[in-house]
């Protein structure tokens, strides 16, 4: 992603950059949708390890396609020695505004990452082994494929930070939605008709929450990449685009570790429970009755992630106020530096 992001920047101008990133993001999610659709079949028919074999084969196919057909942009004279690359990394870390935004946006990806960290075990343990977490997770890339280009076009005239803010406003609502499955079950019962199919209330709220998550991603991701590209000094766009993906590093580090602790606390592995509790759980899954006490508060997991999303949104409001006060409107840093140099020349 970092290298492709830099290529997108070099292949587009300022007027079309957000659109270019939306197309890139659409293609990424086409792959995500197809991959998860097939992963369910591999897991259930052949075994979980075959998902990894399948992924490796597809990655190899992608490499072959790139080697045969990809023609890179002219980058003669743009290479840098390793020492300069490490100095560039240090420069990025010293850019307080950029690093602060990376940490704030990481709050979005902490929640988005739960599609892979918490959701599969959450639904398999509370709904049953017949659940299809791969297909439920597919709601996210499907929404992105359908809506990322039109949404990016819709918000093209507003500031990138404002579009990022919409995404950060929506993301805690996705976790809150998922946490409301007990409320839905108390109102509608243990089975709900959805598109002609019977679904558990947990499944219904996961579909709704993950769908909303996909919409939030449409508002945030292309405009964040656009904003990151505009923070780069001249000649360092690739560097900044690469390190803009530190958002997922911080998010995965926090979100996946936290997921493990929360699952153990509120939605434990049935194998760790006593035989009596395991039997009671299986009986509840078969009859649609209440799960044992060990799973009574499984939805609390989503309260924690909703709180992280709310905190990220509030931090963005503070970030926007501070950066606007000091005169940073999210424009191109290279242009600002050039403008500053022109003013210095005029003074001389």
Instruction: Note whether residue 73 is domain-resident.
Output: no
Region 325-337: mean pLDDT is: 55
**pLDDT at residue 114 tops 80:** yes
Tell me, yes or no, whether 77 lies in a domain: no
Q: In the prediction, which pLDDT does 213 show? A: 97
Residue 75 domain-assigned (yes or no)? no
Distance of CA 224 to the CA centre of its chain: 12
- What's the rounded Cα separation, in Å, for the pair 293 and 341? 67
Residue 198's H or E segment, with its range, is strand 197-199
3-class SS of residue 70: coil
Per-residue pLDDT at 337: 44
pLDDT given for residue 7 in this prediction: 81
Please tell me the pTM assigned to this model.
0.85
Q: How many CB atoms are closer than 10 A to CB 51?
A: 19
Q: What's the pLDDT score for residue 73?
A: 66
Within-domain flag for 76: no
- Of all residues in the chain, the percent with pLDDT exceeding 70 is 91
Q: What tokens appear for 235 in the block?
A: 């000649």
Q: Which of 69, 129, 109, 159 is nearest to 259 (CA)?
A: 109
Look at residue 195 in the predicted model and tell me its pLDDT.
76
User: What integer pLDDT is reported at residue 328 of this predicted model?
Assistant: 57
pLDDT in tens, 169-218: 999 999 999 999 999 999 998 889 877 788 999 999 999 999 999 999 99
Q: How confident is the model at residue 71 (pLDDT cuts 50, 70, 90)?
A: confident
pLDDT-based confidence at residue 338 (cuts at 50, 70, 90): very low
Mean of pLDDT values over 251-278: 97
Domain assignment of residue 143, yes or no: yes
Residue 216: inside a domain: yes
- Give the per-residue pLDDT at 331: 52
Inside any domain, residue 227: yes
Considering its fold, how many domains does the chain have in total?
1
**Does the structure show a pLDDT above 60 at 336?**
no
* Residue 74 covered by a domain: no
**Does residue 138 surpass a pLDDT of 70?**
yes
Print the domain residue range for 30. Answer: 2-68+82-347
The CATH number given to whatever domain includes residue 36 is 1.20.1250.20
Asked if residue 37 has pLDDT above 70, the reply is yes
């Amino acid at each position: 992603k970092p290298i492709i992001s830099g290529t997108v920047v070099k292949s587009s101008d300022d007027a079309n950059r957000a659109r270019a990133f939306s197309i890139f993001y659409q293609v990424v999610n086409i792959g995500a949708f197809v991959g998860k659709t097939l992963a369910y079949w591999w897991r259930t028919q052949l075994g979980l390890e075959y998902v990894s074999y399948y992924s490796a084969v597809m990655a190899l196919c992608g490499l072959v396609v790139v080697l045969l057909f990809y023609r890179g942009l002219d980058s003669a004279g743009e290479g840098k020695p390793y020492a300069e690359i490490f100095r560039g990394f240090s420069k990025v870390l010293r850019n307080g505004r950029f690093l602060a935004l990376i940490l704030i946006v990481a709050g979005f990806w902490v929640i988005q990452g739960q599609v892979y960290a918490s959701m599969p075990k959450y639904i398999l343990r509370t709904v049953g082994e017949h659940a299809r977490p791969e297909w439920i997770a597919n709601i996210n890339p499907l929404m992105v494929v359908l809506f990322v280009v039109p949404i990016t076009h819709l918000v093209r005239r507003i500031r990138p930070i404002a579009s990022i803010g919409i995404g950060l406003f929506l993301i805690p609502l996705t976790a809150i939605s998922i946490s409301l499955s007990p409320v839905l079950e108390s109102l509608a019962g243990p089975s709900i008709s959805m598109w002609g199919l019977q679904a558990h209330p947990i499944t219904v709220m996961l579909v709704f929450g993950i769908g909303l998550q996909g919409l939030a991603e449409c508002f945030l991701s292309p405009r964040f990449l656009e904003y990151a590209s505009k923070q780069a000094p001249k000649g360092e766009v690739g560097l900044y685009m690469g390190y803009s993906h530190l958002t997922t590093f911080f998010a995965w580090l926090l979100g996946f570790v936290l997921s493990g602790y929360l699952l153990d606390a509120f939605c434990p592995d049935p194998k760790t429970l006593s035989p009596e509790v395991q039997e009671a759980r299986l009986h509840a899954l078969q009859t649609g009755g209440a799960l044992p006490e060990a799973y009574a508060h499984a939805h609390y997991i989503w309260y924690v992630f909703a709180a992280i999303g709310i905190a990220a949104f509030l931090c963005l409001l503070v970030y926007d106020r501070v950066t606007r006060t000091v005169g940073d409107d999210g424009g191109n840093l290279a242009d600002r530096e050039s403008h500053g140099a022109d003013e210095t020349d005029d003074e001389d």
